[in-house]
Amino acid sequence: MAAVRGLAAIVMLATAGGATAQDMPGSAGAQAPPALPSRTIESPKDAKPMATAPLLTVDQDLLFAESDWGKRAQRVLDETGGRIAAENERLAAQLSAEEATLTEQRGTLDPAEFRRLAEAFDTRATEVRRERAQVVQGLNAWAEADRAAFYRAALPLMGEMMQERGAVVVLDRRTIFVSLDAIDLTQAMVLRLNAELGDGAGRVPLPDPGSGD
């Protein structure tokens, strides 16, 4: 009857956007490479605004997190993940109680009957665990698809801003050792994306948190 303990192990995976593919049972969970050191140098207060620059930078994570789209996605993860976690906890408690009752009956049941009941319980508990793991995976998959949709929608607008500023390339700020904040496009890009894209609600349908589909 180890399936009950297995279900308890996935209870906390769906909280506040904390569920990730690496956390799921059976995943290898590859270790992320160490982050490169980077620094953005603040321009002097009296520096003139840079109208054009051949190179621009953007922080991809910050761009998503501070946009209306990213904030809406995080709210969905918080709310849906909380409901999934609560349901997982309810099912884990229910199965634990059934397991305890079955264990108490062991001394009064015929061994063959107890074995039959125990095997049926294990089968059901394993299926519940599988279904709940699929629900968590479904939320993870939605989050990844929604984020990818954001970047696909953002690229044309980023290209427009790049041309407006006379740049030939936009680089991820996190991969650059040192850069001036004057060439960073992140905050201006957030304003443009909010105005043009809104919060992106409905672009990627949210899976049913009550099923593994």
Q: What is the mean pLDDT of residues 109-127?
A: 92
Whole-Å CA distances, 143 to 125, 166, 197: 27, 34, 17
Please give the residue that has the higher pLDDT: either 70 or 27: 70
Q: Is the pLDDT of residue 6 over 60?
A: no
- Give tens-digit pLDDT for 133-161: 999 999 999 999 999 999 999 999 999 99
Which residue bears the tokens 């793991």? 133
pLDDT for position 207: 80
Q: What is the mean pLDDT of residues 5-28?
A: 42
- Min mean pLDDT across 17-21, 48-52, 79-83, 207-211 is at 17-21
Categorize the per-residue pLDDT at 28 as very low, low, confident or very high, splitting at 50, 70 and 90.
Answer: very low
What mean pLDDT is reported for the chain? 82
**Can you give the pTM of this predicted structure?**
0.75
How is the chain split into domains, by residue range? Answer: 3-16+38-197
